Chain A
Amino acid sequence: MAKEITIALTGNPNSGKTTVFNNLTGGRQHVGNWPGVTVEKKEGTCRYQDYTINVVDLPGVYSLTAHSLDEVVARNFIVEGKPNLVVQIIDASNLERNLYLTIQLLELGANLVLALNMSDVAESRGHQIDIKQLSSLLGLPVVRMVASRNDGTKELLKEVVRAAEGQAEGRRFRVHYGAEVEEEIAKLEDLISKDEELRRKYSPRWLAIKLLEEDEDVIRAIKGHG
């Protein structure tokens, strides 16, 4: 009997996300709209082993602030749509900037798998990445990928299934923001945890961090209730 999971694809613009999506879903995709907004929503399906995988293509974003509609759509889906997994497509040549998004995804509480795409380009530029070490330090599965040649798709699916079944490496890192900042985060986390509704919906730490960033969307969500 087929098991069904939903994964969300995210990543910087120009990271090859669309190619990965096409590799996974081929012709079995359809375009609609995210409810309430006119941002295109692309979904498709993929079969692997005895799984039916629904792939949702989130808009390409550099970050998860509340600045643009794309970012809000992406993070709302992760928080409310609760996909089983989030796969971040990373441009291996621009690791630094792409990891900025990775941190935010982890703080959001996403169950994350990383795909280091365009690895061939990175290597030809003289970039050498120790994938094992990266994976171990982040506590996340990392797959090497060259989507333009459909390299790495199978490996990605393998890791996706592993992560969905809960077999992925346990430890997840977290950024330490310095003693003073962490202290304020802890204070806010404390207050947030007392609120049943908030605690159930969001990761308290993420909410605390967003408040310190004065994230408009989060502030509005908090004001909206109670």
Chain B
Amino acid sequence: MDNSVMPLAMVRPGEQVTLVAVNAGRGLTRRLADMGLYPGVSVRVVQSHPGPFLLQLGASKLALGHGIAHKILVKAM
């Protein structure tokens, strides 16, 4: 059983996870990749529900609006 893969939406603040996949249309996937969110990167969740999600990606902080965290699959580090 692999390190369970789950949606980013279920990750609690303070946890560090690795991005596994993005389950979204081309536009959003591209947009996320442009901003540095692509499979393999590690992010830390700073704020989660009720949202928007706030992520720490390296030295940058990203805000993800409604519904996006559900489309990003991650696994615990």
A residues sitting closer than 8 Å to B (CB atoms) are 62-63, 65, 67, 93-94, 96-97, 100, 122, 125, 127
Chain B residue nearest to A118 in the complex (CB): B59
Q: Mark B12-39, 1 if CB is under 8 A from A, else 0.
A: 0000000000000001001100111000
B59 lies within 8 A of A62 (CB): no
Find chain B residues with CB under 8 A from A96 CB. 36, 58
Distance of A122 Cα from B60 Cα, bound (Å) = 11
Find chain B residues with CB under 8 A from A125 CB. 59
Distance of A6 Cα from B58 Cα, bound (Å) = 34
Chain B residue nearest to A213 in the complex (CB): B30
Distance of A100 Cα from B41 Cα, bound (Å) = 14
B residues sitting closer than 8 Å to A (CB atoms) are 27, 30-31, 34-36, 58-60
Q: Given B31, B34, B58, which contacts A100 in the complex, CB threshold below 8 Å?
A: B34
Nearest 7 interchain pairs by C-beta? A93-B59, A97-B36, A63-B34, A62-B34, A94-B60, A94-B59, A62-B35
Chain B residue nearest to A92 in the complex (CB): B59
Distance of A94 Cα from B60 Cα, bound (Å) = 7
Chain A residue nearest to B60 in the complex (CB): A94
Central interface residue in A62, A67, A96, A97, by most chain B CB within 10 Å = A97
Find chain A residues with CB under 8 A from B35 CB. 62, 97
B31 lies within 8 A of A67 (CB): yes
Distance of A45 Cα from B61 Cα, bound (Å) = 34
Find chain B residues with CB under 8 A from A127 CB. 59
A94 lies within 8 A of B58 (CB): yes
Find chain B residues with CB under 8 A from A97 CB. 35-36, 58, 60
Min CB gap B32→A, angstroms: 10
Distance of A63 Cα from B35 Cα, bound (Å) = 9
B34 lies within 8 A of A65 (CB): yes
6 contacts between A and B (CB under 8 A): A62-B34, A65-B30, A94-B60, A97-B60, A122-B59, A127-B59
Min CB gap B69→A, angstroms: 20
Chain A residue nearest to B30 in the complex (CB): A65
Central interface residue in B35, B36, B58, B59, by most chain A CB within 10 Å = B59
Chain B residue nearest to A71 in the complex (CB): B34
Find chain B residues with CB under 8 A from A65 CB. 30, 34
Find chain B residues with CB under 8 A from A122 CB. 59
B36 lies within 8 A of A67 (CB): no
Chain B residue nearest to A97 in the complex (CB): B36
